[in-house]
Amino acid sequence: MGVFGPLLALDGLLSTQGVMVMLLVAYAGAMWMFLSSAPKVHTLMVSDLEVARQFFENELQLRTADVPLHYYYNYEQTLGLSAVDPIYMSAVDLGTPASKSFSGNEGLWFQLKKNVQLHVITGASIGEKDRQRHVCFDHDCLEKILVRVQTRYVKYKLRSEMPLNFLVKTLDGSVIEFSEVSA
């Protein structure tokens, strides 16, 4: 009986249940590797996509980034983020439903840090004095942008630290407001 001991373990491993367990373990390992290598994505809502493009590309000199693979699979919709709250839409958009959904590859994508990306989408209303407005729910995202503004020697004025709110003056003299929306 001692001779068949090692064969019984191999027999159990190659059974239907054993193969299923091995497949599940392999799938879990593959998912862990995929998700751990995926970049952290910060989303920023802006009032004008072209103004944002010029600011991030020209003044902050951020490189454009490829859309992360997990955004191709409607990752935002599984988190319940597919609709924009009407409070952040402009007055012109108030008559339309706020159920506009975004697919992952809409908007602009920038490389903020090595494994951190910035996803810029439309949806913010124009701020007071008709200044461009960039709105974010993530304090960490705006801190990273503020550090980039400071290192690029772009003129800025810190209005509030909690929630983070600052103004940036672009080279053409226009003002962009960066504002954190606390949940």
Q: What band does 145 get if pLDDT is binned at 50, 70 and 90? A: very high
* pLDDT, position 57: 92
Mean pLDDT in residue range 94-110: 56
Taking the C-alpha atoms of residue 19 and residue 21, their distance in angstroms, rounded to an integer, is 5
pLDDT at 81 exceeding the cut of 80: no
Q: 57 vs 50, 51, 93, 111, CA distance in Å?
A: 10, 10, 28, 11
Q: Is the pLDDT of residue 77 over 70?
A: no
Summarize pLDDT for 37-69 with one digit per residue, the tens.
677 888 888 888 898 899 999 898 999 888 776
